[in-house]
Chain A
Amino acid sequence: MDRKIDYKKTKKRLDGRKMDETRPLSIKTGVIENADGSAYLEWGQNKIYAAVYGPREVLPKHTANPLKSVIKVEYRMTSFSVPQRKRPGPNRRDQEISKVLGEALSRAVFVEQFPNTEIGVYVEVVDANAGSRVACLTAASVALADAGMPMRDMVAATGVGKAYGELVIDLNKDEEDAPDAVDIPIAILPNSEEIVLLQMDGLLTRKEWDAVAKLGIKGCKQVYEVQKKALVNKFELSEAKGKGQATKTVKKKAVKKTVKKVKK
C-alpha cells in the first residue's frame, strides 16, 4: 500500500468503520454433532469452527494430572483459509497460538473439578482476515459453555492497536499491514476484567497503551454480549407443547402478523 493513509485526516477507516467499531460478529452453537460442545463464529471475514471433547481420559495415562483436568487446545487453519495457500500441518505460529489460547482458557475453567482428565478444544479457521486468534478464543469459550463445562467466567477476546496514526479496535488485514501498525490481541474474564491473554507486536508510547488497553477491555465486553446471546437464545423458557398444541400457537402468530401489515 503506497498511498499515504492518515486516519487522523479521514476520520474513517479503510473499510468505513469508526475507530472504536468492531467488524460484524455472529456466533452459533451446537454445530458439530459429535462434539460435547461446539460453536461456529463469523467475525468480519473470519470464519471459525470450534469443538470441545471432554472431560475425557488422558492418553498416555502417565501424562494426566491427578489434581486437575488439562486443557489441550489445537489451533489450525485450513490450507485455503488464507490468500497464499498454507501447507498442511501445524507450523510454529499454530503451536504458539494453541499454547496461549490453552493458557487463557485454563484460567476460566474450574479444572480442579475433573482431575485426571483432559478437555480437548479444537478450533479450525476456514477463512481468515486478521484477528483469527481472538476469534478462535471467543468461539472456544462459547463451545466450552455449550459443553456444560464449569467456568468462573466466559473468556471474551478482541484485537486492539494502532494503524495509520490512530488507535483502533479490531484491525483488519489491510490495517495490520500499515507501516505504524501495532496489533494487540487481548482477552479478559468480563466480571473481574482479569486479562488472560495479552500479546503485542509494534511500538507504542505509555500514554497510547493506557488508551488502547481501555479500548480493548471495552471491546471485549461487547464481544461478551454476543457470546451470551448465542448461548441463551437457544433456550426458550416457554411451555412445552405436546401433540396438537404446537399447531395452535403457530396459527395464532401468523394471524397476528397479517393484521399488523393491514393496519399499516
Chain B
Amino acid sequence: MRDTVMEYETAKVLKLAREGKRVDGRALDEVRKISIETGMSENAEGSTIVTIGKTKIIAGLKIDIGKPYPDNQDEGSISIGAETLPLAHPDYESGRPSAQEVELARVVDRGLRESKAIDFKKLCITVGEAVWVGFLDFYALNGDGNLFDAGSIAALVTFNNAKLPKLDKEGKIILHEYNGTLKLARQPLLTTFAKVGGKIMVDPTYLEEKASEARYSAATTDDGFISAMQKGVGGSFTLEEVDYMIDKSFEIGDRIRKQIKQVK
C-alpha cells in the first residue's frame, strides 16, 4: 500500500532540495539504477522493459508496410507514442492522451528522429509504392518520474534490436519471420533535469517532478552531437545552468550507452 500525501511529501522534497539534498539520498547529478530487458512481446517486432529506480515502462515496436508520402517517395517512417497508464500511478487517468503524454511522446521522438540515427531511405521497399512504417509505443507500468529518459532508453534499445519482417513473393508480410535489422547510425539518448528549490537535479522522481519549477531535457549522441532539447513546465533556466545540463547529458548519456551495449 502506498500512502503519499502530495502536499506533505513535496514540502519534504523542497526542504531537502534547498540544502542540496534529495529524499533518496542521491547526489544532484546521480541517476537511479537502470535495468533493461528485451524481447518479451512475441507479437512485436521488438520490445523492451526499462526500469529507472522504481519507474518501469514497456515499449514495443510494430513494423508494417505503408505507402510513402508524396514528397518522400523513397523513405519509410517511424512514429512514437506514449501512454501513462492508470495502472502505473493513482494520479494517471485514462482517456484521450493528455498534454503531458503528447509532450512525452514528441520529445522522445525528437531526440531519435533529429539525430538522423535511422536512415529512412533504408526503410524503402519499392520506391513510390511500399515502405516500412514503424510504430513504437511505450507505456508506463509503474510511474515514479522521468518517463522521458526511460522512454528514450527503451526506444533506442528497441530500434537497435528491431527485426524487419520477411516478405513473401507478393510483397506481403510473413508473420513471425524476419529478415534483417535496422542499423542505427548513432545512439541518441535523452537526459532530463528538474529545477527544485532553485537546485538542478538529474533524473527526477515523481515527487521531485511535482515539486519542480522547471524541467529540461537534452538528447546527446555518442559522436558528440546534441540532437534535441526541450524545456518544460513553468519557471526558467540561466544559460550557465543550460550549459551545465548539456555537459552532464553527454557524461550520463555515455555511461548509459555503455550499459546498453551489454544488453543482448
A and B together in one complex? yes
Contacts of B175 in A (CB 8 A): 83
* A32-B141, A32-B142, A36-B1 known; A120-B60 Cβ under 8 A: no
Closest-CB distance, B59 to chain A (whole angstroms): 8
Judging by beta carbons under 8 Å apart, are A74 and B86 in contact? yes
* Stretch in B15-23, B38-46, B191-199, B215-223 with 4+ CB within 8 Å of A: B38-46
B85 at the interface (CB under 8 A from A): yes
Contacting B at CB under 8 A, from A175-216, are: none
Contacts of A65 in B (CB 8 A): none
CA distance A148 to B1 in the complex (A): 10
Closest-CB distance, A54 to chain B (whole angstroms): 9
CA distance A85 to B137 in the complex (A): 10
Name the CB-closest residue of B to A34.
B89
CA distance A76 to B87 in the complex (A): 10
Contacting B at CB under 8 A, from A25-74, are: 32-36, 45, 47, 49, 51, 53, 56, 74
Map CB proximity to A onto B33-62 as digits: 1 under 8 Å, 0 otherwise.
000000011111101000000101010111
B88 at the interface (CB under 8 A from A): yes
* A34-B2, A34-B144, A78-B139 known; A127-B41 Cβ under 8 A: yes
Judging by beta carbons under 8 Å apart, are B41 and A80 in contact? yes
* A78-B60, A79-B137 known; A124-B142 Cβ under 8 A: no
In-complex Cβ contact of A122 among B61, B87, B143 (8 A): B87
Closest-CB distance, A183 to chain B (whole angstroms): 19
Q: How big is the A interface, by class?
A: 20 to 34
CA distance A35 to B88 in the complex (A): 7
Judging by beta carbons under 8 Å apart, are B40 and A79 in contact? no
Contacts of B83 in A (CB 8 A): 88
A222 at the interface (CB under 8 A from B): no
> Chain A binding site: helix, strand, loop or mixed by DSSP?
loop
In-complex Cβ contact of B139 among A35, A36, A74, A124 (8 A): A124
Contacting A at CB under 8 A, from B103-152, are: 135, 137, 139, 141-144
CA distance A88 to B82 in the complex (A): 9
CA distance A84 to B90 in the complex (A): 31
Contacting B at CB under 8 A, from A117-131, are: 120, 122-124, 126-129
CA distance A36 to B87 in the complex (A): 11
A14 at the interface (CB under 8 A from B): no
In-complex Cβ contact of A34 among B43, B88, B97 (8 A): B88
B64 at the interface (CB under 8 A from A): yes
In-complex Cβ contact of B87 among A124, A128, A147 (8 A): A124
Closest-CB distance, A108 to chain B (whole angstroms): 20
* A36-B1, A79-B60, A80-B137 known; A126-B87 Cβ under 8 A: no
Contacts of B144 in A (CB 8 A): 33-34
A81 at the interface (CB under 8 A from B): yes
Closest-CB distance, B161 to chain A (whole angstroms): 13
Judging by beta carbons under 8 Å apart, are B85 and A127 in contact? no
Judging by beta carbons under 8 Å apart, are A82 and B90 in contact? no
Closest-CB distance, A153 to chain B (whole angstroms): 23
Judging by beta carbons under 8 Å apart, are A56 and B135 in contact? no
B98 at the interface (CB under 8 A from A): no
B94 at the interface (CB under 8 A from A): yes
Closest-CB distance, B67 to chain A (whole angstroms): 16
21 A-B pairs with C-beta separation under 8 A = A32-B56, A32-B141, A34-B144, A35-B142, A51-B87, A51-B88, A53-B86, A78-B60, A78-B137, A79-B135, A80-B45, A80-B61, A80-B137, A82-B43, A83-B176, A88-B81, A88-B97, A122-B86, A127-B42, A127-B44, A128-B43
Interface residues of A (CB under 8 A from B): 32-36, 45, 47, 49, 51, 53, 56, 74, 76, 78-85, 88-90, 120, 122-124, 126-129, 147-148
